[in-house]
Amino acid sequence: MDLAKGPRPSESAEVTVLTQPAWLVPAFAAVGVVAGWLAKLLADRLVTLGWAPLKAPAKLLDSVPEPWLTVVALTAGALLGTLVGFIALHESLTVRVSDTRVTLTIRDETRELRRADVDAVFLDAKSLVLLGRHTEEAAREPCDLERADLAAAFTAHGWNWAPEDPHKAEFHLWVPDTPGLPVGANALLSARAHAMGKTGTAEDVRALRDELNGLGLAIRDERKRQYWRLPAPPPPGA
C-alpha cells in the first residue's frame, strides 16, 4: 500500500491516496529473473533424461551457447515479470478519499461517490463495498489493500467504517425463480450464474452485477453461489 503525497491515514489531510506500492513492478521482475534461472536449470536437467515432457523445447533452449543462454533466460524472465507487474498494478484498486468524497479507480475506470450519499464502508473478503443511504450497494470493487490502512483512511476523514457488512444476515441464497424479486432479476441472476461458470468472463459477471444493482439488489458471492438482499424501504415521506 502506497500513500501518495506523503500523508499517513491517521493524519488530517485534504486527500489520502491508497494504492499498491511502486516496488510491485521490480518485485515481479526479480521473481521473473529467478524463474528464468530455474527454467535454464530445468532445461539442462531435462535433456539428460531418457524421456521427459517438453524435452524438445528443452533441447532447443539448451542448444544456445553460454553465456548467451543465461543472458536470454534472465532477460526474458525479467521482461515477463515486469509485464506481469504492470498488469497487476493496472488491475489493482486505487482509493482517493477526502472529507467529502471518494474516488475509486481500477483498470482505467473511475467512480466517484459523495460522502453525503454513503451510509457505510467496509471490506467484504477481497472487495471494498460502499453502501448508500438506503442500504443499497453503491459500489463494490476488488481490493487487495490492507484492511487497517483502509479503516484508518476512511475513519480519519469522518466516514462510517464498518468492521463487516452490517446487513450480512439479510442475504438469501438465490435459487432459480425465487419469488418476490424485481422483474427481470431472476433472468439476470441466471445469466450471471452461467457467467460465473465456464461460459462467461469476469467482465460479464461484473456487468450483470451492475444490472442487478440497478434493480436495487445487493449481491454477495460465496463459492460460486449467489446471495441477494433488497435495500431498506425509504422512510415515510422521503
Buried b (16+ CB within 10 A) or exposed e, 178-187: eeebeeebbe
- Residues 89 and 107: their CA atoms lie apart, in Å, by 9
Q: Nearest 5 degrees, angle CA 138-CA 142-CA 143? A: 105
pLDDT of residue 5: 41
**End-to-end C-alpha distance for the chain, whole angstroms:** 40
pLDDT of residue 125: 87
Cβ(138)–Cβ(130) below 8 Å: yes
* CA-only gyration radius of the chain, Å: 24
Kindly state the helix (H) or strand (E) to which residue 200 belongs, with its residue range: none
Per-domain boundaries in the chain? 24-90, 93-156, 168-229
- Please name which of 170, 178, 154 lies closest in space to residue 220, comparing C-alpha atoms: 170
The model carries a pTM of: 0.73
pLDDT of residue 73: 77
pLDDT of residue 54: 56
Q: Nearest 5 degrees, angle CA 63-CA 67-CA 73? A: 70
User: Which triple of cell numbers denotes residue 42?
Assistant: 530445468
pLDDT of residue 13: 53
- Residues 71 and 74: their CA atoms lie apart, in Å, by 5
Segment-wise mean pLDDT, segments of 10 residues, the chain, 238 residues: 42 77 74 76 63 58 69 81 73 92 91 95 94 92 93 96 94 94 95 86 90 92 92 62
pLDDT of residue 56: 61
